[in-house]
Every structure is written in C-alpha cells, then in structure tokens.
Structure 1
Amino acid sequence: MHHTVSGINLACKYKCVYNYNVHDVTELQSSDPNRWKRAAAAPDGSFVAPHARAETSFGREQQNDEPVSPRTLNARRLLTFAWPGQPLTATEFMEGTGLTRATVLSVCRDLAAAGWFEEVADARAAGNYAKGRPALRYVFRPDAAYVIACDADEDDFTVVVTDLHGVELVRIHRNIGATRTADTRRQLLLDLVDEALSLADVAPERVSAIVIAVPAPVDPDGESPADEDENYWNKVNPGFISLFDGRGWEVLVDNDANLAALCEAAEGAGVGVRSFATLLSAERFGAGIVVDGRLLRGKHGGVGEMRVLDMVVGVEAPHGLLRRVRWEIRQLAEAGELAGELAALPPAERGAEAVFSAAERGDATALRIVDALAGRLAPVVQLLSGLLDLDRIIVAGSIAASAEPVLRRTREIMGKGSLLGWADLVASTHGSDVVLRGAVSSAIALVRERALLSEAASAVSAG
C-alpha cells in the first residue's frame, strides 16, 4: 500500500508531536482528542506487531466514525504516552491516560508481547522506590521497527536509516550528477537503500516505512506530472512510488520543499507561525507553503513550484542562490572584473560561503555579488508575501547558514513598500538536513498512524 500525502511525528532528535496530518500544521503544537477514533480494530481484537502491514487512511482527510475496539483504543493511548521513551510504572500510565490499573497492566503485557514495549528493571532496582511491592515498569522500544528517509535530489542521493525515535543508524550520500535516465536513477536509489540497510545491520523485514523526497511536484498517486519543456519532473521522480513494491513497507513520495516546511513547522522558524513559506534556495527555488496553518498542495501537488519566476521581471528563471553565485562569479571573471578576496582564491573555492564571508568583511566584489543576489531574491519574496499574505519566509537548505548578508540586503531593498507589510525574511537553522529531517519525521508518522492496526493475516513481529 502506498501513501502519498505526508504527516509528521517527531521524537527525541526529531521533536515529539502527536498525530500530525500534513494538511494541518496547527496540530504540531497540540494533541488531537479524536486521534484514537481513527484506529481500526483488528478482526480478532489482537495487537499488531511493529513490522506487520496494516491498511490505513493516513495522510488523507479521515472520518472519525470508523469502528474501534475499546482495547485497541486503550493500547494506542498507552503506546502514544510511552512513545517518548522514558520507563513508566502502571501508576504513571494511569495518571497520563486515565485508564485503570487492571487495564494498564493487561494492555502493557500485550504490547510487550507484540514487541512495542519492553519490561525493564523495577522502580526499586532503579533506586526510585523504597517501600512495598516493587513497581513493574515498561518502556517503549524505539527499535521495534525502523524507517528510511531519502533525499533524492537532482544530483545527489542521501539515505538515512533511523529507529522510531529518529536516531540515525547510518547515512549514505552519493553524487549522481551524470545520471539522468529513469531506470538508472531507480536502480541507484534501490542499491543505496539496500547498502544503507546492510551497513545498519537492519533486515528489510524490520523496516516499516520509507519516505522519498524529490525536487518536483507530487500528485496524490505519488507521481510527478509531465512537464513538456524539460521533462525534468519525470526525470527526478521516475516512478519512485513503486520502487519498493513487494517489500511490505509503507511508501511515501513527497516534494522536498513540502517536507522542509513540515520540519520548520515542527522545530524551526515556522513554529507558532500561521502562514509561512519555506524556500529551498540552492540550485533551484522551490517553496513549501503553509497558509492559515495548512500545507497547500493543489491538484497536481504543484503549489510552491517556482517556474512562475520565468515571468517575473528581474528574475526570469527559478535558479537558486547557489547557482546564481556561480553565474555571477563567472560573469565577473570573464569581464576581467573579479577582484579582491575572491580573485585570490582558487576557482574551486569561490563558492557562496566564501562570497558571503568576504561580503561581511566589506570586500567590494563580494558585496557586488550579494547586491545582485538580493536584487533577484527581493522580487521572489515580494511575490510570495504579497500574493499569499504570509507572516514569514524561511530561506532553507545548505545555503541558509551563511546567507544573512543576502537576506539583510534583500530586506533593505524591499523596505516598507507594501500596504500589508512584507513577510519577515529569516534563515533556517537546519542547513542541508532540513529535507531529511522532514522525511524522517514523516516516516515515523506513518508507523505511528498505523500502529496496532491489522489486516487479517498480520500476526507476529518479524523481529
């Protein structure tokens, strides 16, 4: 079964939130009192092991009138309460969930048998209990299953394997710049995922979900629409949604900027902000757009696709800041006007970080490049801000950490030229990991959403 609309739950390294439907980012900062009604009881009332497959409507508009057994509802309540990872006594479970002691003890035993919980040293052994009968404690097992996140960019593939707390076991990166055929890209990603699992010593059957980020719109079927001029979208997403058919994993393909926006909404510059755009700004501009707390997608998943910049005077193309830095340096060099710190550097070291660093020290050539970049970024910010009435625009990606000189100059150019005021312009703090963090979070969410749901044939853990 494929899921093609994402959700997010973050734990430990990836901040813990509950039942986040990607359509509504306001759920990042509040738990949903109706989330338990979304569970479907197993036909026999039993609990599903962490690796068993389950049908779920995750990520789509859901109805809350699906049948649910009280036992499954209670189990999901205990599982969510324990997910952050601290050992808990029956008393703590009771206080946190409102369930009776008998229910807590019975359901915890079943969750331990299914592989979700582990029985740990009692409170007396841990030094937290002094008198009376020792209190039994249970702890959630983050190794109950594993998830995979892939950032399948145009020229680079990055794959990470994590546990259910988002702790990385392994990360692999490959530059695939010369690879353009669909079959080759598919095979490379398949091989990279298998290599990552091997290095992590994780058997494929212990994986529950995989999320693949692509620099293209993604429709509800996980496919990217054809773009007649370049066919770029089909090249970067050559049917990844079917790549892992037969493995029993939940599979989600999503736009990279959307995943970045989910990351920022949960643990970045989008926290507490009702309307914002996360603008990936490296080779190409791409935006994940949240308006009134909802991540916008559109019929073909094309909301935030920035090819509209072809028609914006002074921009004329969706080329990102990194690409534009290289172009500006090349133009100056060809004109014999490259001077100062940048001229003294070897060509291979004349990148964006060097330019921005030199600009901070007042280098005239670097400041000239920064001014040109800001002159292109300002119309992009004004377009997004004015059209959507945004509160904030977050410049994200590998360039964000060093981009403040450009952002500062962009703010100066925009001034106060809007009746409604322009959106705040800030840099992401997540660097090049912003997409992967969103992908890991979404993969964990897939596991949480289907936890304890069952098909008739699902019975025991593969671990």
Structure 2
Amino acid sequence: MTLTGQDPALLRRLNAAAVLRALHGADELTLTQLVKTTSISRATVEDVIAGLDGLVEEVGLRAEDPRPVGRPAKRYRFRAEAGHVIGVDLGAHKVLAVTADLKGRIVDRRRTTVSPETSNADRITAARAVVRRTLRASGVETAQVRALGVATTGVVDPSDGRILISDRLPGWAGVDLAAALEGLADGPVLVGNDTNLAALAERWMGAAVGVDDVLCLLAGRSLAAGLLIGGKVHQGRNGAAGEIGVMRAFGWYTALDRFLAYGGSDRVFEAVRDGDAEAAAIVRAFAQDLAKGVGAAVLTMDPELVVLGGGLSGAGELLAGPLREELAELCLFPVRVETSTLGAESPALGAVRLALDHVEHALFGV
C-alpha cells in the first residue's frame, strides 16, 4: 500500500493498529522497544499512545525493579482488562458461559443444566441468566463486553447465525440467537456451530495448537466434525460441512447402542482397563464404524491432525488408539489422532475465541 499526503486518517489508523498489536503481544514494552518493533518514529508513537486512552497505560517502576541511572525509560502495557468477551456453549444438556479479558485470559465460568426437552424459551432464558451470573462474578458491566460468542448444536447459517437444522433439538431450527441474546453485550452476538468452534478452541489452546489443517470430532450422544483448513473454520456453502453424523448407514449408531446395552460408556472403558474381552470388542466395533465416516472426511481434506473430543474423549487412548489403527487401514497416509485437552469446555472456549477474533480485527485491522 502506498500512502500519500491525502491519507492522514488511514496513516493514523495504521500506526495505532501497529502500536496496539505490539503491546497486545507483550507483557510490556518500553518506548524504545515500541519504536523498534513498529518502525514508527518516537514522536508518532507517543502521539498514538496519547490517543489510546483506556487501552494503553504507562507502567511505573516496581519495588523489585533495579533503579536506573538517570531518567527511567517509559514503559507501556496493553490494558487487557479494559474490555471483555464472553463465550457461551448453548447445548442440549448444559449452558456454559465463560468470561475472558482482551488477551483471552479466563476470569470466570458459570454453567447450568438443561435437557433436550427444555423449551426454546426456557433454554434462552437459562443462557441469559448464566451470562448475567458470570458478569456479576467477574465484576464486569455489560458495556464492557465487546463481543459475545455463542456455540450451539445444529447447522448455523453462515450469513446471519440463524439455526437452519438441529437433529438434537428439532424445535431449535429457525431460532435467531443473535436477536434472542441481544442486550447482553455492548458488542455483537456472534453465533457458530459447536463442533466448528470446538476445533477453533483446540487450535487456540488445546491439542491442535500450531496446526492449520484439523478435523475435530465431537463424539458422544451425537457425532459431528469441525473442519479447520489453513487455520480457519470451513463451514461450507450452507454451514453444514462436517455433519457426518447424519450418515447413519456407517453404523456408528449401532455401535453406540452396544455401549448403552453394556451399561454406558464409562462402564465399558472401565472394563477395558480391567482386561474384559467383551468390552474391548465393543470399543473396537465402535472405532471401526466411526472410522468409516471419519476416514471419508480424512481422505477428503487430508488433515494433519484428528482431535477426538466430546463425551467419549475421556476414554483417551482407549478409544483414540483403536481409531488411529482403523484410520491407518482406510487412509492413504497415516494421520495423527489425539484426544482433546479441553474436554466439554471446548465449544464455549471456541466461542470465546470467535468473540476475540472479532475484537482483535476491530483493534488491529485496517
């Protein structure tokens, strides 16, 4: 981009974004370090900082700091507490709200229990109540919430966040969550599919940190996959990318029924640990059926990593190991299979990341 004398507003915005980005990525920086990092003149950096009241503050010497010779260097920090974001997992069995500051540091979590039979109105009321609880516990005002991210089951319209299809909550289709949760944040309400946002969370702080091409499974009472391609969520034309659970012909539903017949997944995996052959056969059958759908997705997108999340991820290697072996038989190249490190919180944390991405684009983008 070539800037001319006709672009003063754009130049100021570029400089402000550069300074904010540098401070956001560090604990604190001296004025000299800011000049070097941003390649902006000292006088301009000082002018930019003066115009960022509330987001940047000068840091004084602490008691433990060595006493400098002469005038101490000016040091600044990004005020992550100047705003907050909230991530909400609005699911069939729970509503979980997570509050974070502008650096993504979690300051509070609140949850409540719902059920698939909970009405739409009661589910939304529960979500609004949980958000208010986490705000009170965090000491955060609604005006300080710069964005609210929401993870929900079902196919979400990429254009406006409406629920298009929801097998787990049939009455959920058609709900406009952005409108339903309006007023809980000063910024926008951003809605995404729970599995896609779980994948985003795993890349942010979970099993997929630093990995760009990821297939994230949520396996439990239902099955869905979130796709990250080039580090970004791939939703598809209708927002339905990764909805492999609707293909019941793969047989994974029947395998899941075997868990229930045995007494539940926890009992099955406990028996596997004890060396029970019947339980081991149930897990192997489930992995075989699961691998058929997952293998098709792996062959389609050729990911670096498959993350196993959802209710069955607690089994760890007892399920990840057989799934890895089955995929090795079906796919052209071996693919890493790891268990989620975030567990049931991954959709809510992904909603936090969705909100943070919006805020950071507003702060650092031009």
TM-score (norm 2): 0.87
Query: Are 1:248 and 2:178 an aligned pair?
Result: no
Deviations 1:6-46 (A, max 9, x none): xxxxxxxxxxxxxxxxxxxxxxxxxxxx8xx9xxxxxxxxx
Matches within 5 A, 1:399-410: 399-410=312-323
Change (3 A) 1:96 1:287: same
Query: Which one of 358, 362, 367 corresponds to residue 275 of structure 2?
Result: 362
Residue of structure 2 equivalent to 1:450 = 362
Look up the equivalent residue of 2:93 and give its one-letter code. Answer: D
In 2, Cα distance between the equivalents of 1:68 and 1:368? 67
Aligned-residue offset at 1:446: 1.6
Change (3 A) 1:81 1:376: same
Residue of structure 2 equivalent to 1:440 = 352
Residue of structure 1 equivalent to 2:305 = 392
Look up the equivalent residue of 2:178 and give its one-letter code. Answer: I
Q: Which deviates more from structure 2 when the two are superposed, residues 362-371 or residues 269-278?
A: 269-278
Structure 2 contact 219–309 (Cα < 8 Å) conserved: yes
Structure 2 contact 85–355 (Cα < 8 Å) conserved: yes
Query: Are 1:235 and 2:172 an aligned pair?
Result: yes
Structure 2 contact 20–364 (Cα < 8 Å) conserved: no
Query: Are 1:303 and 2:215 an aligned pair?
Result: no
Query: Are 1:74 and 2:11 an aligned pair?
Result: no
Structure 2 contact 218–308 (Cα < 8 Å) conserved: yes
In 1, Cα distance between the equivalents of 2:312 and 2:247? 20
Structure 2 contact 154–168 (Cα < 8 Å) conserved: no
Matches within 5 A, 1:14-413: 69-111=10-52, 114-122=53-61, 127-128=65-66, 130-177=68-115, 179-219=117-157, 220-226=159-165, 232=169, 235=172, 238-246=175-183, 247-291=185-229, 293-312=231-250, 314-315=251-252, 317=253, 324=256, 327-332=257-262, 351-413=264-326
Q: Which deviates more from structure 2 when the two are superposed, residues 239-248 or residues 204-213?
A: 239-248
- SS of alignment partner, residue 268 of structure 2: helix
Look up the equivalent residue of 2:160 and give its one-letter code. Answer: D
In 1, Cα distance between the equivalents of 2:211 and 2:71? 49
Change (3 A) 1:237 1:264: farther
Higher-RCO chain (CA-CA 8 Å, sequence separation at least 6): 1
In 1, Cα distance between the equivalents of 2:37 and 2:27? 13
Structure 1 contact 390–423 (Cα < 8 Å) conserved: yes
Structure 1 contact 400–427 (Cα < 8 Å) conserved: yes
In 2, Cα distance between the equivalents of 1:310 and 1:300? 20
- SS of alignment partner, residue 164 of structure 2: coil
In 2, Cα distance between the equivalents of 1:99 and 1:393? 43
Deviations 1:272-297 (A, max 9, x none): 54533111112211111134555321
Superposed CA RMSD: 2.9
Change (3 A) 1:233 1:293: farther
Structure 1 contact 145–207 (Cα < 8 Å) conserved: yes
Look up the equivalent residue of 1:241 and give its one-letter code. Answer: A
In 2, Cα distance between the equivalents of 1:292 and 1:199? 37
Look up the equivalent residue of 1:73 and give its one-letter code. Answer: L
Structure 2 contact 155–165 (Cα < 8 Å) conserved: no
Deviations 1:391-410 (A, max 9, x none): 33211134324231122223
In 2, Cα distance between the equivalents of 1:149 and 1:292? 23
Structure 2 contact 87–99 (Cα < 8 Å) conserved: yes
Deviations 1:289-348 (A, max 9, x none): 134555321222111112442233x33x4x8x8xx2xx324424xxxxxxxxxxxxxxxx
In 2, Cα distance between the equivalents of 1:67 and 1:436? 40
Aligned-residue offset at 1:226: 4.2
Change (3 A) 1:143 1:83: same
Aligned-residue offset at 1:366: 2.5
Aligned-residue offset at 1:178: 5.4
Look up the equivalent residue of 2:139 and give its one-letter code. Answer: D
Residue of structure 2 equivalent to 1:9 = none
Change (3 A) 1:187 1:108: same
Between Structure 1 and Structure 2, which shows a larger proportion of helix residues? 2
TM-score (norm 1): 0.70
Aligned-residue offset at 1:127: 2.5
Q: Percent identity?
A: 29
Change (3 A) 1:390 1:360: same
Aligned-residue offset at 1:431: 1.7
Deviations 1:386-439 (A, max 9, x none): 333333321113432423112222334455344x23533322222222222222
Deviations 1:255-286 (A, max 9, x none): 11111112233344434545331111122111
- SS of alignment partner, residue 390 of structure 1: coil
- SS of alignment partner, residue 139 of structure 1: strand
Structure 1 residue ranges without an equivalent (≥5): 1-33, 38-65, 333-349, 455-463
Aligned-residue offset at 1:88: 1.7
Aligned-residue offset at 1:94: 0.8
Structure 1 contact 122–135 (Cα < 8 Å) conserved: no
In 1, Cα distance between the equivalents of 2:116 and 2:223? 21
